[in-house]
Structure formats: structure tokens, C-alpha cells
Structure 1
Amino acid sequence: MRALHTAATGMMAQELNVQVISNNIANMRTTGFKRQRAEFQDLLYQAYRRAGSSTSDQGSIVPVGIEVGTGVRTAGTPRVMSQGSVTPTDKELDVAVNGEGFFMVRLPDGRTAYTRDGTFERDNTGLLVTLDGHQIEPGITIPDTANAVAIGADGAVEAFLGTDAQPTRLGQIQLARFVNKGGLESIGKNMFVETAASGPAQLGTANIDGMGALMQGYLEAANVNAVTEISDLIAAQRAYEMNARVISGADEMLQATTQLR
């Protein structure tokens, strides 16, 4: 019975939906995390009678056809790249992007990754790095004698060196943006890499050229709403249960058929 297969595709789709929701909930406290949602499409239809076909020699046209669907499939799990709330941390090397743009990170294999996580530290040479020790691009070194490090809204990094009365400019944090942010590939550790779908990175200066402003002493929280995720989870559970009942109903009909004499 075709209903068994159709309901099975529904159960598999809702199982994936629950996996996506569970990952969103698991990352509610992940800095810069962008939630995903599951999108679905119906499968091909089997047409027993096509709409618009002729039913007589006089040219009578069928106004509606007879089509039976074969189920559902997952079309994609796009990321929702909306702005997360910005929370204060009072740590001078924590930086949040308020608006468009990603920080650029040099990976050990030479590739450039992109992140919204501005939790930065200094390594043993004073280089500005991520929590995993990856260098921020372009490289910025903060000397041991630096005091009162300031990161401006435009990404300019300044500090007072030793007993200097005037601050010294140490570098400039640049941002990157993409035509299709949803096309970025997630590689974990709060980082993305560009793909053919995202398009090449467009570099720019923070707070101008459409880029977001940098906020020192703040971090961007995940854009996950607990109430929304729980309501989506309940809906997915109910849809799974209803598909399971369809399978049970189809099984009972098959059992009744086999008992006919």
C-alpha cells in the first residue's frame, strides 16, 4: 500500500526536523550562533487523470484531475542570519558586530574562515587570535607594553604603549560580507567558509560601506528563541505521531484485506 511509503517519508522528514531543532536548542548559549530551520517539498504526484485532458470526441475537457502525492522530502536546512542580541562582557578584547559583516580568521591550512564570534585573545607573541588560536585577518599584534586597548566602531585598534601620552594605532579589524550569507558552509567552532552559493567575500571597513559597527566589550548571542524552538518541536512531534498513525491505519487495512475469504 502506497500510504505506508508516503507516511514513512513524513516520519523521516519530521525526524530530521527534530534534529535541526535540537541543534538550535543545544547552541542557545553559543556566541554568534545562527539558527537553522528545515524546509520541505512535496514529492512527485501520480496522475490517474490529468486536468485539461479530453473526455469525449466532442472535446469535453476535464476541469480537475486525479493526482495522488507520494510524500515529502527535505529541501534544505537554511540558516537564519538575523542579528542576535548584543550582551556586555566588560572584556576589552571581546568584540561584537552590530549589523552586517563577519570577522576573518586564518585557518591552519591557509584558508580564510568567517565568524560572528568576537571572543578574541592574545597569544604568546601578542597576536590577536580566536579561542582556538587562529589568527585574525589582517594580523594585529598588541605589544606587552600596551595599556588600555581600544577598538573603535570602525575596527581601528589603538593602545597606549608604556608611558606614551598619545595612543598608538596597532591595526585595523576588517569585515567581510556575502551576497548570499545562507550559502556559507558551516565548519563548526562558530566558523563558516565561502562556497559557490555564497559568492566571494566582499571586504570592507566596519561602520561604513554597509558594514556593521564594532562594539568593544560586547558579544553577540545566538539568535535562538527558546519559545519558538519549543513550539516548533511540539509541532514536529505531533506531525511525527500522525504519520505513525497513518502507517498503523494502513497496516490494519492490509491485515483486513489478507483476512478476506
Structure 2
Amino acid sequence: MNTSLHIAASTMRNANTKVDMLANNLANVNTVGFKAQRASFQDLLYNQINQTEKVNLPGRITPLGFQTGHGVRMNEITRDMRMGNLTETNQQHDIALAGPGMFQLLVPRAEADRLGVNPQAMEAYDNDLYGYVFSRDGNFRVDARNGYNTLVDARGYQVSDRNGNPIEFTKDVKNFTIDKKGNLFINDERLPYTQLMLANFNNPQALEHAGNNIFVERKFVAGNYQNSANNPALLNNTQFQQGYVESSNVDMIQEMTELIATQRMLQFGARAIQSTDTMMGLANSIRS
């Protein structure tokens, strides 16, 4: 009976983790560029219970013995990196990526350490002043800092140019436009002032979410990080769309369906514990 308690407890513990994950997805249904999480479960080890020939009665067609499990565990939580719908805003500061990849943002080294950027990744970025973090949230603005203007995101992180440096303006910026290749034009000038960096990853699941809609490389995987400066072909599959933002890819119907199923999983686990407790009470009350 103790085994049944452990099975129900492990099931409820992992189901509760999934409920928290689904609740986080639903809470971010309107967050620009948010990527939903997905959970998968795995059976724990099984024990083989052997039986004697005494139970091998006539008519039995199954082999002797049976298996008993130990519940489930959370196998992994992954990010659904599929692109969300693009929503038109007609605001020049709003940029969306139509295709794979992420905006590259620059943070001071101390902030990169706080966010957990891997030291090997920092060396691969080859930037002594900044660390790189990544996001699909293209809600940008021009911010004044120490006598100059710079392009930043909603968190105040500076946007990276194609050379891996912050985009800083040496003149007043009345307006700017960004074409589909990420070229940035200011004040109706015909020549591009700079170009935004597009970052991409061979395995985006190696990135970790650092909160606030930011992804970082906490585990370094050699060759995983790419950018449009070293690999211009990335711009063949992805376009910069000015005046748009990428909506969250959370599917409300799917999330609610999974939430109901997971809540039923919790209920079954609770009933199993209650039934086991009742049987243990009956066994303890039996007198010889």
C-alpha cells in the first residue's frame, strides 16, 4: 500500500508542476513575443513481481508475474519556438521578425553575470564590454543616455548592430525606418545608418528563459550561436517587419484543454491517496 501512496504522490507532484506551467502560459497570452512551454512525462521504473505455479490455474493465458510501477516524473519542459501571429501597430518603434531567429540585445557584463550567461558564451561573443541576451519582443524605443541617443528594448537593453555593438546615434533622430533586411535609416536619409543583428541558434532549446521575456545561453554549446554578420544567408529566411509586433504563440484552447486534463490527473491522484488511506485504516483495525 505504501507503493500506491508513492505512485499517487509522484503523479500529483508532477501534475502540479504542469498546472503551474500552464498557468504561466495563460498569464502571458498577451505578452509580445512570448513562447509557450510544453511538458512531457516519463514512467518511472517498474518492478517485476514473480508468482508461483499455484496461481497458474487452468484457462490462464497470461504469463506468471506482473509489473508494478512507481508513478511518473517530469521528463522535460521545452519551449514551443513556433512563430506567433504578427499584429499590425503602425508604430515605427515596433519591429517583428517574420521567420526564425531573435533580436540580439546587449547588457553590461555584470548584468550578463546576473542573468547567468555562460562564461564560454561570453568569450564566443568576443565583446569585452557587453554580454548578449536574446528576445523575440521587438517593442523598441530611442532612449537618451549620457548625451547620446540609443535604440533600446522595453527593458532598457540596447539593441545590437551587425557588428555586435550598441546602436547609438550621433545626431538627433526625428524618425527612423527599418527595411526587411534590418537596415536602419534615420531622418529620411537614403543611405542606411546601420543594420540590426539577427541571431539564430541551431538548437534553440539549449537557450534558457531568464524571465522578463529574455533568453540566455546558460549552457554553452559550441557552434549553436549564429548571427547575420557571419552568416548573411539567415536573412533569406527571416524578414524584419516594421510597424508590427509578434503576438504570443499561446493557444488558449489548447492550454485550457490541457489544464482540465491535468486537473483530472490531480483529482485521480488525490482519490488514490484517499482510497489507500482507507484500506490502511481497515488493515490496522483488523484484530486477530
Q: Normalising by structure 2, what TM-score?
A: 0.80
Shift of 1:66: 1.9
Confirm whether residue 201 of structure 1 aligns to residue 202 of structure 2: no
Alpha-carbon distance in structure 1 between the residues aligned to 2:31 and 2:194? 28
Shift of 1:93: 1.6
Name the residue aligned to 1:53: none
Alpha-carbon distance in structure 2 between the residues aligned to 1:228 and 1:190? 21
Name the residue aligned to 2:210: 187
Name the residue aligned to 2:69: 69
Name the residue aligned to 1:123: 143
AA of the residue aligned to 1:260: I
Match of 1:169, SS state, is coil
Q: Does the aligned pair in 1 maintain the 2:149–2:172 contact within 8 Å?
A: no
Cα shift readout 1:12-47 (whole Å, capped 9, x = no counterpart): 111001000000001111111000012111111112
Shift of 1:207: 8.7
Moved more, 143-152 or 35-44: 143-152
Name the residue aligned to 1:154: 181
Alpha-carbon distance in structure 2 between the residues aligned to 1:25 and 1:197? 31
AA of the residue aligned to 2:168: T
Name the residue aligned to 2:251: 225
Shift of 1:64: 7.0
Q: Does the aligned pair in 2 maintain the 1:32–1:221 contact within 8 Å?
A: yes
Alpha-carbon distance in structure 2 between the residues aligned to 1:204 and 1:97? 13
- Counterparts of residues 1-261 of structure 1 (less than 5 Å): 1=1, 2-49=3-50, 65-109=65-109, 110-124=130-144, 125-138=148-161, 139-142=166-169, 144-160=171-187, 166-194=189-217, 195-196=219-220, 200-204=224-228, 208-209=233-234, 210-261=236-287
Cα shift readout 1:187-246 (whole Å, capped 9, x = no counterpart): 112111122359531111699435411100100011001111111111111110011111
Q: Does the aligned pair in 2 maintain the 1:154–1:207 contact within 8 Å?
A: no
Match of 2:11, SS state, is helix
Shift of 1:134: 1.3
* Percentage of matched positions with identical amino acids: 35
- Over 3 Å counting, the alpha-carbon distance change for 1:237 and 1:143 in structure 2 is same
Alpha-carbon distance in structure 1 between the residues aligned to 2:105 and 2:253? 33
- Give the total of aligned pairs: 246
- Over 3 Å counting, the alpha-carbon distance change for 1:12 and 1:174 in structure 2 is same
Alpha-carbon distance in structure 1 between the residues aligned to 2:281 and 2:193? 77
Question: Going by fraction, where is helix more abundant, 1 or 2?
Answer: 2
Structure 1 unaligned spans of 5+: 51-61
Structure 2 unaligned spans of 5+: 52-61, 110-129
- CA RMSD in angstroms comes to 2.2
- Over 3 Å counting, the alpha-carbon distance change for 1:258 and 1:64 in structure 2 is closer
